[in-house]
A = this chain, B = another copy of it.
Amino acid sequence: MSSDEKDEKSHKNQSEGTTAKEPRGARRKRATRQKLINAGLALMSERGKNGVSINEITEAADVGFGSFYNHFESKDAIYDALIEEVLNSIGDAIEVATNKLEDPAAILATAIRNVMNHAQRNPVWGRFLLRTAYSSEVLTLGMGKYMMNDLLRGMDANRFNVNDPVMAFLTVGGTVLSALALSIELNESTTNPTKNNAVQVANGLGYSLENLDQRTASSVLQILGLSVEEADTIANAPLPDIKDQ
Which residues does A use to contact B, with CB under 8 Å?
47-51, 130, 134, 136-140, 148, 163-167, 170-171, 173-179, 181-182, 185, 195-198, 201-202, 205, 207-209, 212, 215-216, 218-219, 223, 228
Question: Inside 8 A of A209's CB, which chain B residues have their CB?
Answer: 166
Given contacts A50-B50, A50-B51, A176-B174, contact A202 B134 (CB under 8 A): no
From known contacts A48-B48, A198-B139, A215-B166, infer whether A171 and B175 are also in contact, taking CB-CB under 8 Å.
yes
Q: How many copies does the complex hold?
A: 2
Given A51-B50, A177-B174, A177-B178; A207-B140 close (CB under 8 Å): no
In the assembly, what is the distance between CA of A54 and CA of B178, in Å? 32
Which residue of chain B has the shortest Cβ distance to A228 in the bound complex? B163
Q: Whole-angstrom distance between the alpha carbons of A196 and B223 in the complex? A: 26
* Cross-chain contact B136 with A171 (CB below 8 angstroms): no
